[in-house]
Amino acid sequence: MIIYNKLVRDRIPEIIQESGDECVVEVLTEHEYLKELQKKGNEELKEYLAASNSKEAIEELADLLEVIHGLTQCHGFSIEELEKVRQYKKDKRGSFDNRLFLVEVRKKV
C-alpha cells in the first residue's frame, strides 16, 4: 500500500481502478480544497522549474494552468474574469515580452 495524501485530477481514481488496483479517496471541503490547490500549485511550479527540456516544461505549465483554473474558481471568479484582470494589468503595466531586467533605480536629488 502507498499513501499519497494529495490532491489528484478527477479521473485518477478511475484510471487506478482500470489498472486493477483499488484506491481510497475523500471529497475535500472548500477550505481543504483551496489549501490543497495551493500545495499542488507549489508542487507543479517546482516540477516546472526542474524540467530539463521544453517538452517537460510544457507538460508542467499545463498542470500549473489547471491549478490556476481551480484556484480561480475557489476564489469565486471565472477564467474570463481572470483573463480580464490579466489584460488590464498588461495594458496598465505591460507584459514581459521585452525581457526587461531592472538592475537599479537612481533617485533624483
Q: List, for residues 54-67, the tens digit of each pLDDT value.
A: 999 999 999 999 99
Residue 23 neighbours by CB under 8 Å, 6+ apart: 12, 13, 16, 17
CA dihedral for 5, 37, 26, 20, sign (positive or negative): negative
pTM, full prediction: 0.89
Domains in the chain: boundaries: 12-81
Residue 3: what are its φ and ψ, rounded to 5°? Answer: -95, 125
pLDDT band of 82, cuts 50, 70, 90: very high
